[in-house]
């Protein structure tokens, strides 16, 4: 038996806002792309050749699924017209279908199957066409009957439409609760109801309450509470003390500190209430933000710009440092340079040129530090583990006068770490240098 999986863009319009840019077949359901559930069912029904049909772009899904070898099947792709019904699909794909029994899975619907049951009987039942249907989708059989490969009676097959966020959320939660006893779900788990992906760091003081599914490359920081009924995607950071309950956190999302997410979907900086459909795009990156996984070029460019700035500072300050460092060290005054203004001419000059930071500058050349970012000299960067931590010689907080307290400084650092540009960093470094002079020597 062969399978045609047909999905039309119009069936999945509701996904546009929640998962912009994602092929509907790749929408994650309990950390597993929707298409994999369909493929799993087709395999359970004895299909070894599957064709994916869509009226939208297929490149994303082709890239993900490849030729199907990972499932031990042959997977091909083709386009369909939005108005195509099942007869047209069969006609247009008659070369693929040949004279074999063909199962057509159409629409954005979830198949309630059980991986422990044998669905190979579908090839031999004379159903007269549709064997299951629901608003928006169906399972149809066409072509000649095949000899039965099983003696088992055909298990019931149910369909649930995924027509909106509410149903998407409900199906994801049901799948999570049903767990790996019924579906093949990703992740490792020592006990039922909890699946954890690769490269997951969970703090000792974080709590995980079943059922929960956690994707790959996830960091759960101290005091965070995950679950019950929490689906955490891949490339996610749950910051300190936050609670995620009955919610879905989609891939590449940062959840800030001390937040409470209950009955919501979070996708990057967007928070969605699946019940009402209300969508909120947060503008506070320290609360909710996207994690950009593809910023390698920007990171490299930033490192080059910072290294050039550090090299320039090393060159410009080399003479004052060469003269003043030994002098102040001998007088035992070097450690006073950052804090005591006007203690003497040498100290004042050293302070004005921020020579106390000079020994840190080579760290920028080696890529260990940034020229500007989070403060390393107060050891806060080492304690801060968010996405926005960039240990540096100068702090973004030093560019702004109002950041008086530690928490103010942290807000400023996080804001600029997420919004600054490499060239903007140079301007801010100059600003920090000026501010350091000004605030050490207030008039």
Partner 1 sequence: MKFRLDTQNGITVGIAELEGRLDASGSAPLQKASADWQTKTPFLVFDCSRLDFIDSSGLGAIVGCLRRSLENNGDLRLAGLTPKVAMVFDLTKARKLFSIFSNAGEAAASFGATPTAIQER
Q: Which residue from 184, 278, 298, 315 is in contact with partner 1, where contact means CB under 8 A?
A: 278
Considering the complex, state which of residue 281 and residue 315 has its C-beta at the smaller distance from partner 1: 281
Supply the minimum distance, in Å, between the C-beta of residue 428 and partner 1: 18
Supply the minimum distance, in Å, between the C-beta of residue 258 and partner 1: 7
Supply the minimum distance, in Å, between the C-beta of residue 388 and partner 1: 15
Q: What is the distance between the alpha carbons of residues 98 and 100, in angstroms, rounded to a whole number?
A: 6
Q: Is 92 exposed, middle or buried (0-12, 13-18, 19+ CB in 10 A)?
A: middle
Q: Which tokens is 231 given?
A: 């689906």
Q: What is the distance between the alpha carbons of residues 357 and 345, in angstroms, rounded to a whole number?
A: 18
Number of residues that bind partner 1 (CB under 8 A): 17
For helices 296-330 and 345-352, give the axis angle rounded to 10 degrees.
180
Alpha helix (H) residue ranges in 269-344: 296-330
Whole-Å CA distances, 336 to 25, 333, 342:
62, 5, 11
- Binding segment for partner 1 (CB under 8 A), chosen from 2-10, 270-278, 345-353, 361-369, is 270-278
Q: Are 118 and 158 in contact (CB under 8 A)?
A: no
Please give the residues from 245 up to 264 whose contact with partner 1 meets the rule CB under 8 A.
258-262, 264
Considering the complex, state which of residue 185 and residue 244 has its C-beta at the smaller distance from partner 1: 244
Asked if residue 280 binds partner 1 (CB under 8 A), the reply is yes
SS3 408: helix
Supply the minimum distance, in Å, between the C-beta of residue 402 and partner 1: 11
Considering the complex, state which of residue 59 and residue 258 has its C-beta at the smaller distance from partner 1: 258
Considering the complex, state which of residue 243 and residue 351 has its C-beta at the smaller distance from partner 1: 243
Considering the complex, state which of residue 159 and residue 224 has its C-beta at the smaller distance from partner 1: 224
DSSP 11: G
Query: Which residues, other chains included, contact 48 with Cβ-Cβ below 8 Å and sequence gap of 6+?
Result: 72, 73, 74
Supply the minimum distance, in Å, between the C-beta of residue 10 and partner 1: 27
Considering the complex, state which of residue 283 and residue 366 has its C-beta at the smaller distance from partner 1: 283
Neighbouring-strand partners of residue 225: 207, 243
**Residue that has been written with the tokens 């038996």 in this structure:** 1
Supply the minimum distance, in Å, between the C-beta of residue 283 and partner 1: 5
Q: What is the distance between the alpha carbons of residues 169 and 210, in angstroms, rounded to a whole number?
A: 17
Supply the minimum distance, in Å, between the C-beta of residue 256 and partner 1: 9
Phi-psi map region of 350: left, alpha, beta (phi>0 left; psi -120 to 50 alpha): alpha
Q: What string marks each residue from 18 to 57 as x (binds partner 1 by CB under 8 A) or -? A: ----------------------------------------
Neighbouring-strand partners of residue 110: 160
The per-residue DSSP string of 335-382 comes to GGTTT-TTS-HHHHHHHHTTGGGGGGHHHHHTTSSEEEEEETTTTHHH
Q: Which residue from 17, 88, 284, 406 is in contact with partner 1, where contact means CB under 8 A?
A: 284
Q: Which stretch of DSSP H or E encloses residue 232?
A: strand 230-232
Asked if residue 271 binds partner 1 (CB under 8 A), the reply is yes
Asked if residue 287 binds partner 1 (CB under 8 A), the reply is yes
Supply the minimum distance, in Å, between the C-beta of residue 386 and partner 1: 15
Asked if residue 276 binds partner 1 (CB under 8 A), the reply is yes
Considering the complex, state which of residue 276 and residue 383 has its C-beta at the smaller distance from partner 1: 276
Q: Which tokens is 439 given?
A: 């605030």
Q: Which residue from 58, 282, 314, 430 is in contact with partner 1, where contact means CB under 8 A?
A: 282
HEC secondary structure over 32-53: EEHHHHHHHHHHHCCCCEEEEE
- Binding segment for partner 1 (CB under 8 A), chosen from 98-106, 217-225, 285-293, 366-374, is 285-293
Please give the residues from 288 up to 327 whose contact with partner 1 meets the rule CB under 8 A.
288
- Binding segment for partner 1 (CB under 8 A), chosen from 159-167, 219-227, 272-280, 306-314, is 272-280
Asked if residue 273 binds partner 1 (CB under 8 A), the reply is yes
Chain residues in the site for partner 1 (CB under 8 A): 258-262, 264, 271, 273, 276, 278, 280, 282-284, 286-288
């Amino acid at each position: 038996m062969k399978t045609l999986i047909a999905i039309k863009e119009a069936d999945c319009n509701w996904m546009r806002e929640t998962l912009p840019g994602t092929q509907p077949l790749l929408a994650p359901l309990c950390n597993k792309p929707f298409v994999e559930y369909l493929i799993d069912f087709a395999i359970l029904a004895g299909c070894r050749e599957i064709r994916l049909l869509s009226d939208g772009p297929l490149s994303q899904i082709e890239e993900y699924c490849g030729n199907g070898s990972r499932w031990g099947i042959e997977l091909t792709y083709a386009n369909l017209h939005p108005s195509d019904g099942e007869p047209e699909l069969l006609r247009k794909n008659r070369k693929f279908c040949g004279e074999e029994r063909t199962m057509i899975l159409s629409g954005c619907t979830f198949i309630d199957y059980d991986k422990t049951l044998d669905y190979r009987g579908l090839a031999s039942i004379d159903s007269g066409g549709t064997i299951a249907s629901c608003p928006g989708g169906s399972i149809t059989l066409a072509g000649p009957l095949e000899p039965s490969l099983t003696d088992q009676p055909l298990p019931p097959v149910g369909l649930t439409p995924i027509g909106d966020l509410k149903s998407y959320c409900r199906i994801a939660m049901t799948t999570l609760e049903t767990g790996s006893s019924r579906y093949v779900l990703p992740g490792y788990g020592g006990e039922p109801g909890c699946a954890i992906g690769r490269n997951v760091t969970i703090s000792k003081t974080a709590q995980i309450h079943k059922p929960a599914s956690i994707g790959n490359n996830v960091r759960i920081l101290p005091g965070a509470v995950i679950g019950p009924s929490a689906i955490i995607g891949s490339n996610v950071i749950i910051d300190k003390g936050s609670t995620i309950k009955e919610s879905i956190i989609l891939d590449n999302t940062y959840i800030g500190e001390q937040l409470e997410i209950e009955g919501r979907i979070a996708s990057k900086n967007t928070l969605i209430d699946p019940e009402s459909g209300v969508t909120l795009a947060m503008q506070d990156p320290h609360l909710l933000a996207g994690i950009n996984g593809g910023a390698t070029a920007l990171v490299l460019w930033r490192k080059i710009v910072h290294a050039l700035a550090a090299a320039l500072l090393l060159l410009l300050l080399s003479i004052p440092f060469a003269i003043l460092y030994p002098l102040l060290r001998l007088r035992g005054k070097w450690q006073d340079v950052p804090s005591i203004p006007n203690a003497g001419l040498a100290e004042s000059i050293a302070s004005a040129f921020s020579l106390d930071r000079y020994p840190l500058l080579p760290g920028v050349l080696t890529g260990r530090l940034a020229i500007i970012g989070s403060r390393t000299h107060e050891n806060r960067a080492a304690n801060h583990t968010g996405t926005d931590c960039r240990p540096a010689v100068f702090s973004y907080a030093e560019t702004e006068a109002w950041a008086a307290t530690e928490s103010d400084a942290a807000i400023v650092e996080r804001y600029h770490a997420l919004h600054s540009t490499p060239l903007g960093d140079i301007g801010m470094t100059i600003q920090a240098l000026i501010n350091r002079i000004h605030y050490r020597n207030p008039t």
